[in-house]
Amino acid sequence: MVHAVLQQAVAGFYADLVTRPTGRAVRENIERDLPPGSVAVMDFSGVGCLDYSCADEIVAKLVRDKVKVLLLRGLTDAHREAIEPVLAGAGLAVLCERADGALEGLGASEPTPALLDELVERRLAANPNQVDIGKKLALLEDADAALFLASGMGATALAHLAVLRPGDHLLASEWIYGGVHRLFREEFGKLGIEVSFVNPTQQRTWKRAMRKTTRAVFLETPTNPLLRVIDLEPVATLCKAEGLALIVDSTFASPVNFRPLEHGADLVIHSATKYLNGHTDVIAGAVAGTDQVVDEVRRLMQVWGQAIDPFAAWLIDRGMRTLTVRVRRQNEIGLAVAEWCAKQDAISKVHYPGLPSHPDHEAAKRILGGFGGMLGIELKGGVRAAERFLKGLTIAAHAPSLGGVETLVSEPRLTSHASLTAEQRAQAGIPDGFLRFSLGLEDPDDLIADFAQALARH
C-alpha cells in the first residue's frame, strides 16, 4: 500500500510528496493527481489533549491551504472526539493510520461551501461548551435561547444595544449596579441613546417618565445592595401596552429563586461570574430571551469581542450542575444570619427580604422561590465601625464579588457603587457604614460566631 505523506516544515509550508514504498511510476501518478500542497500529515503522538477551538484552527488552515488529503497518526479516542466533528463537511479525504500501519477512512469527503464561515462562527460565538451552557440556561429561564459572554457588563451593554438605536430613549431603575449606572450615564449618550432614571417602586413614575422615543425599560430585582424586590408584572403590563422591551438583571436571584420571563420580562441578564458559576473563578455574563434578540446579541458579541472562551464555559457548566443545591442552601443560611443580625445592638438596620421588617417582604414571599444568600447591614458608627468589623473577620473574607461557595463581605462605597459620590449613595439608601454580605456554604453557626467576634471590636 502506498502512503502519500506531506511533511509540514517548521516554517509553516508543506514539502514535496514522498511515497512509501517508493517507486518512480507510483510517485509520478500521485504527483500528477495530487499537486504539491494537496496532501498533509498530522502526527498526534505524545499530544495529551486537543480542545475544540484548536481543532477548529487546524481544519480552517487546511481548508485555506486547499489540502485535499489528510493523514492522521497517533490519534487517540480523545483526539477523535475533538477533531472528528470539525472534519465533517470539510471536503477532505481523511485517512487515519492505525498502530499496525493500516489505514482507515475518517470524516466526510464531500465539501461544505460554508465551512469556513461555520468555523469562524464556532470560534467566535459558538464553541461547543458555550452552546451547551446556553441551552441549559435557556431551559432554566424558559427562554427561546440564551448566550454566555465574556462579562456581566458585556452582557448588559450588548443586551441593550440589541434593542436600542441612536435617538432612542432608555428608562432605567435608579436602583442598579454602580457599573451599569456609569455605563448608562457616561457611555450611552456617546452612542446617541438617552437614559432617564426613576424610582422603580413607584408605578406612576414609569409612565410619567416615558417619551415618544422610549424603546426599553431596565431594572434589577432583587436590587444591589439594598435587596429591594420589584414586582415585575405591573411594569411588564405597561411595557407591553407601550410596545417597549423589558430587560431585567436577575443576578442576585438566579433562576432558582426567580425567572423574570415568567413575569413578563422580554430579556434576562446575569452576571454569570456570580451564582451561575458559583466558585469565584470565572468572569462571564449571560443573556436569555427570544431567538431574534439573542441572535442580535450574538452578532454584537463578535463585533465587540465579548466571546467567552471554552475553558471558562466549561467552568460555568461545572458550576451550573450544583446551582440548585447551592442556592437552596444559601437561602437557608441567608435567613439564619439575617435573623441574628436583626437582634444585634451594633447594627442599626438589616436589609433582607426574608425579614418581616423588609419593605418588600410580602412581595418577596409571593414572587421569589427563596430569599437568597445576599443581605445588607448598616453599622452604627459609619466607616470606622465598618473598617473595624472587616479587620476582625476570620472566616468570611473582605472582598468584592458574590454568589460563590465562600462568604464575602464588601463595602459598596469602595466596590459596586464607588463611581457614585457620598451624597448620591446616601440618596440611594447606601450610607457610609453599609456592608454587603454574600453568604457561602459554611456552617451558619460558624459564620455567626465570626460576625459576633468581629462586632465585638465595634
What confidence tens digit (pLDDT) does each residue in 393-406 have? 999 999 999 999 99
Confidence (pLDDT) at 4: 36
Confidence (pLDDT) at 300: 95
Q: Which three cell numbers stand for residue 254?
A: 438566579
> How far apart are the two ends of the chain, measured CA to CA in Å?
84
242-258 average pLDDT score: 98
Q: Which three cell numbers stand for residue 98?
A: 492505525
Taking only the tens place, the pLDDT of each residue in 144-169 is: 999 999 999 999 999 999 999 999 99
Q: What is the pTM of this model?
A: 0.76
The secondary structure element, H or E, covering residue 367 is: helix 361-367
375-397 average pLDDT score: 95
The CA distance from 217 to 195, in Å, is 10
The CA distance from 197 to 129, in Å, is 37
* pLDDT band at residue 457 under the 50/70/90 scheme: confident
Confidence (pLDDT) at 220: 97
3-state secondary structure 211-254: CCCEEEEEEECCCCCCCCCCCHHHHHHHHHHHCCEEEEECCCCH
Nearest alpha-carbon partner for 405 in 306, 310, 286, 323:
323
Q: Which three cell numbers stand for residue 395?
A: 472566616
Please report the DSSP string for 26-90 in residue order.
Answer: HHHHHHHHS-TTSEEEEE-TT-----HHHHHHHHHHHHHTT--EEEEES--HHHHHHHHHHHTTB
Q: Which of 103-117, 304-318, 409-423: highest mean pLDDT?
A: 304-318
The CA distance from 84 to 87, in Å, is 5
69-78 average pLDDT score: 78
Average pLDDT, the chain: 86
Q: How many CB atoms lie within 10 A of CB 442?
A: 15
30-57 average pLDDT score: 66
CATH 3.60.20.10 fits 126-321, yes or no: no
- Check whether 194 has a pLDDT greater than 60: yes
SS3 content of the chain, % helix, strand, coil (to 5): 40, 20, 40
Q: Which amino acid is at 450?
A: D
Taking only the tens place, the pLDDT of each residue in 266-296 is: 999 999 999 999 999 999 999 999 999 999 9
From the number of C-beta atoms within 10 Å of its C-beta (0-12, 13-18, 19+), residue 122 rates as buried
How many alpha carbons fall within 13 Å on the CB side of residue 57? 5
The CA distance from 269 to 260, in Å, is 10
Structural domain spans, the chain: 3-118, 126-321, 324-455
- Cβ 363 vs Cβ 231: under 8 Å: yes
- Check whether 108 has a pLDDT greater than 50: no
Q: Which of 56-60, 200-204, 362-366 shows the lowest per-residue confidence on average (mean pLDDT)? A: 56-60
Q: Which residue has the higher pLDDT, 329 or 104?
A: 329
Confidence (pLDDT) at 107: 54
Architecture of domain 324-455: Alpha-Beta Complex (3.90)
Q: Please give the C-alpha separations between residue 88 and each of 64, 70, 106, in angstroms, as whole numbers.
A: 16, 13, 9
Confidence (pLDDT) at 103: 65
The CA distance from 221 to 227, in Å, is 8
The CA distance from 444 to 203, in Å, is 38
- Check whether 328 has a pLDDT greater than 80: yes
